[in-house]
Structure 1
Amino acid sequence: MLCPEVRSNGAGRKLIARQVSYRQLLKNRDFGLLIFAQSISNFGDWLIIGILVAMVTELVPTNINPALAVAGLWIAKIAPSLFFSPFIGALVDRTDRKKGMIYSDLIRAGLVALLPFSSVLGGLFFVYLVIFLSEIFTLFFVPAKDASIPNLVKKDQLVDANSLSFTLNQVTMLIGLGVGTTIILVVNRLIAFVPVLKNFAGTNTAIYLDATTFVFSAIAVSFIHMPKQRVKVDKGHTIFEEVKDTFRFIAANPKIKSIIISVGFSVLGLGTILVVGPQYAQVDLGLGRDGFLILLTMLAVGLVIGAVSSSWLTHIISKESLFSASLTIVGLSLIGFAVFPAVTPAIILSLISGSALGIMYVSAYTIFHEQVSDDIRGRLFTALEADLRLGLIISLLITSALASTIGDQKLNIFGQMVTINSSQIVLFGGGVIVFVVSLYAFSVTRALARKAIVEKVNASEK
């Protein structure tokens, strides 16, 4: 049985005089290699997102709607975390994480390299199979990487380490999308006519480049001097029993449980913008067909700002309060999108909500690193990943149904008839969900703070 390991870092925590800079962190050879491996493989993942969408639409049979083929692609990417995450999490904690990350990278490289031959190896089904299997190994790599960070940096560097990790994820995502788009639009036209390069031009160029990024990631991880992890496996203890222990741990640790619940429900509310965002940008804001990309870009910029600012904010406010406050800001921002459907407010709200999301991510991951012991950390990060994806799937399904059912509504506000689009209604509902979740997170934080004070008083009286 696993016992909760809770270490309070309440109001009495001393402020750190000077935050640890990213440059100092990157001087840590092993952490730098881990971040490089994460960044280059993340770049490769986003490099071929658009290419995969184009590939499945080309391979789809004429009797199947291309939209269904694209939906199948996202199902193949998300499904592994829903079905296998508890068991993969147990493997992350049972096995050598460094070797596991290397094998995961090399296997993903081999799988991705097969994609150009999809048309002769099974068509659309083969693409889905490759993506499904790749995501299984991604599901091992990411929690293993996250669980390894506290073993490579000092405790007072955890916030900066998570901030840097998240920031580089966003930067490499934007670069990957940009390079992928360039390859699709430019490289195909420039070199596809050269016979000897036809098999490597255009979309295939991006696919082979993606496979190469996994190889470089594996090489980088192989040079990391990873401290020996603590592995607690009771004799005769099966993986199924370890999965049960993970849920017992979460149930017995109020702080960890509140984060997992809050993250899941916040994604449920945030998913609304992915479904109705394009319609909101085009119809409500009048930005045209590509208007949603403007909002997403501002959101991504905000994510980076939030992640970077987390480093000094956590020296002023506790991470628990910061997590709850960021949820509140995200909820109010979604409500703001619905109430103020204009371009300038929408751009400002995109920056604000993105910043709050970045702060929420860094705060949550740092709390996990500080509160969870090494022997169960992999399982907890895998559970968090599954929590995110489950919330997203439920949100996409519910939001799609609501958006198509509700329709536009006319309301009498102060004697004037006002038309409210379905996208505004859905965004308002999503904002309310996130706001209510933030109140729950605040209540747990306050309850734990009061409990810590009572325990301190009782201890002093003894």
Structure 2
Amino acid sequence: MSQANRTTKLNKDAKLLLVSQSASFMGDYCVLPAILILATYYGNYWVVSGVLVVRSIPMIFQPFLGVFVDKFERKVIMFWTDIIRGLCFLALFFLPEGEFPLLFLGLLFVSYASGVFFNPARLSLMANLGVDVKRINTLFALATTLCIIFGASFGALFLFLMGSVKAAVLFNALSYLLPAALVLMIKAESPKIDSVGFRAHMQSFKRGLLEIKGNAYVRNAVYLMMTMATMCGVAYSFYPSVSEGFIDGEVGNFILTVALGVGGFIGAKSVERWGFQSQVGITLFYILSLASILCFIYSPTFMFAMLAATVFYMAMEFGEVIAKVRVHESTTNDIQGRIFAVSEALIGLCLSLGALFINLFSLPVIAGIIGLMIIALAVQSRSLRHMTDKEQHSGSAPGV
């Protein structure tokens, strides 16, 4: 459907998709602190890191799923992935606390692995809803931010009223199972796409790798995304230990997740103020990223950690916009999808690695690794600025 025939007003199909996904988003961020808390009941911090690993590893394979998704009706894929995820969390609800760690992680892995089929199908279907793509993507981004805040708040409320995080797990199961029916009510047809085959898809993926290797601006953007993913993995892994400083340590996990949503909202707004080309904004990103993550993991009090987490996620949101815009401004449209596909795989890998640091290294070593990554990023960006100045002088700069 051409952009000329699209409307900025949401039609029934768009509303159904937005409502169903808002419910699922809310469940996602209601249950994230809950499963981290449940992981601590096993008395082994490797299980906590394992939660983050099984949550992130499936992202590595997401770029290769387009070939599969193109062969089936998108609404059917979305329906069944929601059902599978709902049943997995329903099984977790009945699983005895602190028992069967491999089953605990296995159910989470199946849930998150099935979830990676959902996003390609959703993004593909969104293109056929008859609504302006920018409009619906903006609304989805806003819904995600709000659902992080409300979902985590509901989780804390469930814990306060019922005395158990299992209520959050049940809420998440229902947030998949009930909205699944709404997906089948969508009337829009899935776009007709001729599948290119796995071999051609791998060639496309390879082209993305070559562009990253040969384009210094894109390489900088991808390294920025990898650095942020590693830091986010570290931050998530410290949730349970940092939350122990709160009056009720378990509620503290939910409060930190609320800080994620609030920080992300502020970060999105800060882009409008500073702009991705502002050297002041980019310099603040480096300083705030490093300072906030170090304050978070070394925090003497929970309230200080919550403030640090808010600043950290604000910086992460700002950095994400910088990275994405840098890719858009430095490449042609036909290659951008391939670059983001490679980035998704690298982000999943770096999230997993960051989550393991807490088990492998001491705090000073973790702080040192993060510091070196930020310094390397700053040095790389500085060299790019010099290169940009030269290219602008010669009239060939890509606008980064």
Length, aligned pairs only: 383
Distance in 2 between the 1:85 and 1:113 partners?
Answer: 24
1:161 to 137, 141, 162: 137
Distance in 2 between the 1:320 and 1:390 partners?
Answer: 30
Local SS of the residue matching 2:348 = helix
Alignment of 1:11-410 (within 5 A): 27=10, 31-53=14-36, 65-82=43-60, 84-92=61-69, 97-118=74-95, 123-145=100-122, 154=132, 157=134, 161-162=137-138, 164-187=139-162, 203=166, 206-222=168-184, 223=186, 225=188, 228=191, 231=194, 233=196, 237=199, 240-251=202-213, 254-269=216-231, 271-274=233-236, 297-310=258-271, 312-313=272-273, 317-318=275-276, 324=282, 327-334=285-292, 337=295, 350-365=309-324, 377=337, 380-398=339-357, 400-403=359-362
In structure 1, the residue matched to 2:377 is: 437
Q: Deviations over 1:67-121 (max 9, x none)?
A: 3444433333233334x334325435666545433332233233333334546xx
Q: CA 1:101–1:434 in 2, change beyond 3 Å: closer, same or farther?
A: farther
Note the residue ranges of structure 2 that are not aligned, 5 or more in a row. Answer: 1-6
Q: CA 1:297–1:329 in 2, change beyond 3 Å: closer, same or farther?
A: farther
Instruction: For residue 390 of structure 1, report the CA deviation from its aligned partner.
Output: 1.8
1:40–1:213: 8 Å Cα contact kept in structure 2? Answer: yes
Q: CA 1:433–1:318 in 2, change beyond 3 Å: closer, same or farther?
A: closer
Q: Deviations over 1:203-229 (max 9, x none)?
A: 3x5444323322344344441636736
The range that moved more, 167-176 or 110-119, is 110-119
1:306–1:355: 8 Å Cα contact kept in structure 2? Answer: yes
Q: CA 1:446–1:225 in 2, change beyond 3 Å: closer, same or farther?
A: farther
Code of the residue aligned with 1:177 in structure 2: it is A
Distance in 1 between the 2:189 and 2:328 partners?
Answer: 16
Instruction: For residue 301 of structure 1, report the CA deviation from its aligned partner.
Output: 1.8
Bigger Rg, which one? 1
Distance in 2 between the 1:98 and 1:376 partners?
Answer: 26
1:143–1:382: 8 Å Cα contact kept in structure 2? Answer: no
Instruction: For residue 138 of structure 1, report the CA deviation from its aligned partner.
Output: 1.4
CA RMSD of aligned residues (A): 4.7
Instruction: For residue 361 of structure 1, report the CA deviation from its aligned partner.
Output: 2.8
Distance in 2 between the 1:211 and 1:151 partners?
Answer: 28
Code of the residue aligned with 1:100 in structure 2: it is I
1:330–1:431: 8 Å Cα contact kept in structure 2? Answer: no
Identical columns (%)? 20
Instruction: For residue 263 of structure 1, report the CA deviation from its aligned partner.
Output: 0.9
Distance in 1 between the 2:9 and 2:368 partners?
Answer: 42
Local SS of the residue matching 1:228 = coil
Distance in 2 between the 1:133 and 1:334 partners?
Answer: 33
Local SS of the residue matching 1:361 = helix
In structure 2, the residue matched to 1:4 is: none
Instruction: For residue 372 of structure 1, report the CA deviation from its aligned partner.
Output: 7.2
TM-score normalised to the size of structure 1?
0.63
2:52–2:352: 8 Å Cα contact kept in structure 1? Answer: no
Instruction: For residue 305 of structure 1, report the CA deviation from its aligned partner.
Output: 1.4
Distance in 2 between the 1:49 and 1:374 partners?
Answer: 36
Q: CA 1:372–1:181 in 2, change beyond 3 Å: closer, same or farther?
A: farther
The range that moved more, 391-400 or 39-48, is 391-400
1:89–1:383: 8 Å Cα contact kept in structure 2? Answer: no
Distance in 1 between the 2:390 and 2:192 partners?
Answer: 34
Local SS of the residue matching 1:134 = helix
Q: CA 1:325–1:26 in 2, change beyond 3 Å: closer, same or farther?
A: farther
Note the residue ranges of structure 1 that are not aligned, 5 or more in a row. Answer: 1-23, 190-201, 404-421, 458-462
Distance in 2 between the 1:33 and 1:113 partners?
Answer: 24
In structure 1, the residue matched to 2:4 is: none
Code of the residue aligned with 1:127 in structure 2: it is F
Local SS of the residue matching 1:225 = coil
Q: Deviations over 1:42-64 (max 9, x none)?
A: 21223333444565666x5xxxx
Code of the residue aligned with 1:302 in structure 2: it is G
Instruction: For residue 395 of structure 1, report the CA deviation from its aligned partner.
Output: 2.6
In structure 1, the residue matched to 2:3 is: none
TM-score normalised to the size of structure 2?
0.71
The range that moved more, 434-443 or 36-45, is 434-443
